[in-house]
Amino acid sequence: MDLFEKCRNFTRAQQARTEGWYPYFKAIESGADSEVVIDGRKLIMVGSNNYLGLTQDPRVKEAAIKAIESFGSGCTGSRFLNGTLALHEELEHRLAKFMKREAALCFSTGFQTNLGTIATVVGKDDLIFTDRANHASIVDGCRLSFGRTIKFKHNDLNDLERLLKRNADSGDGRLIVADGVFSMEGDIIDLPNLVKLAEKYSARIMLDDAHSIGVLGKRGRGTGEHFDLENKIDVVMGTFSKSFASIGGFIVADAFVIDYIKHHSRSLIFSASMPPAATASVIAALDIIEQEPQRIEGLWKNAHKMKAGFAALGFDTGKSATPIIPILVGDDMKTFAFWKLLFDNGIFANPVITPAVPPGHGRIRTSYMATHTDAELEHVLQVFARLGREFGLIP
């Protein structure tokens, strides 16, 4: 059989395009902001990860422009050999200080950070305990490692304990890895109990704080700060593609762990480093996060308003406890139909269907920014209310 037979047989996307409800790869004609332009039409953006609204901040843009002027457009090599700039070291130094840890290491994307960290620290005789709802980059990091992966039910620490107990006598080292904030559900990992289990069963903890840094904790240091358990997390991972308004990823940990990963991680050593513009814009974003904690308050004010608004209307928003608020719709086709009407009515949100969620649990993932205006948020609630009634989702 021809290798490409599967590609020829893949017709779902084309069918959706023809029928006019294809929701992916939408080209945005404006900058990433609380309002975007698509097909010449303005839409309110409630489908980004731009939590602090820093993509359009003049200070962040200026830093990127200046970095291009000083360092050029790219690094043409990996951190390991010719691609380390003084800017990368400055950013790592600043991140370690911000996160109150000994050392930091930057990768070119968040995805590569998880791949290159998990696959490096987990050896063939080690065990990984991973939450079933963890991000795809953690799933792939586990697959790439030579260790054995054991999945526990989403945020179910009794299940985790059952599995830790069952495997107490096997394997060498143990890693428990979880998202701090889960990207589709918007709930927060039960870190206090996770820490207790890690101590009881001698496991190390890695948290993916992609959606937590700049969001959780008064100063935005993430899930550890939120629970006042920062010193109990062995490795914190973050990305620059969300609150930091750029691209790239990082980990913070003890210096000896970072030094090991620096010299063994294939996604770091065999991939070109973050470009100067991205690196400098992250430093500028970090300055703002440190100096303007009121942005985090603004983000939460908007998140609380929307959570309360959806609840008052009678929508099911699951276990969301963060600015990520999913709205339960139903089966996949109903979810696409709801998404399409939102889009036609000027709201950009994201449809989430199987296999990302169980059958019948399709949802619209919405997420909020510090810079959404009250008028924008009111409009979003009004459109959801009208469509929710039409679809029989609310009374």
Ligand X SMILES: Cc1ncc(COP(=O)(O)O)c(C=O)c1O
Q: Name the site residues for ligand X (rule: CB under 6 A).
A: 109-111, 114, 135, 137, 179, 183, 208, 210-211, 239, 241, 249
183 catalytic residue (yes or no): yes
Residue whose entry in the numeric block shows the structure tokens 């080292």: 173
Q: What angle (nearest 5°) sits at the alpha carbon of residue 387, between those of residues 382 and 388?
A: 95
In the bound state with ligand X, the residue whose beta carbon lies nearer, of 178 and 337, is 178
Alpha helices in the chain (DSSP H): 5-9, 12-19, 58-71, 86-98, 110-121, 136-144, 157-166, 191-200, 223-227, 255-264, 266-269, 276-291, 294-313, 332-344, 374-390
In the bound state with ligand X, the residue whose beta carbon lies nearer, of 178 and 381, is 178
Shortest spacing between CB 113 and ligand X, in angstroms: 7
In the bound state with ligand X, the residue whose beta carbon lies nearer, of 110 and 116, is 110
In the bound state with ligand X, the residue whose beta carbon lies nearer, of 106 and 337, is 106
Shortest spacing between CB 210 and ligand X, in angstroms: 4
Number of alpha carbons in the 13 Å side-chain half-sphere of residue 230: 20
Shortest spacing between CB 128 and ligand X, in angstroms: 16
Q: Which of 310, 311, 386 is nearest to 346 (CA)?
A: 386
In the bound state with ligand X, the residue whose beta carbon lies nearer, of 245 and 383, is 245
Catalytic residue among 88, 135, 211, 226: 211
> CA gyration radius for the chain?
21
Catalytic residue among 88, 135, 226, 242: 242
Shortest spacing between CB 122 and ligand X, in angstroms: 17
3-state helix, strand, coil in the chain (%, to 5): 45, 15, 40
Shortest spacing between CB 181 and ligand X, in angstroms: 8
Residues in the chain, total:
395
Q: Which of 205, 217, 204, 214 is nearest to 95 (CA)?
A: 214
So which residues are the catalytic ones?
183, 211, 242
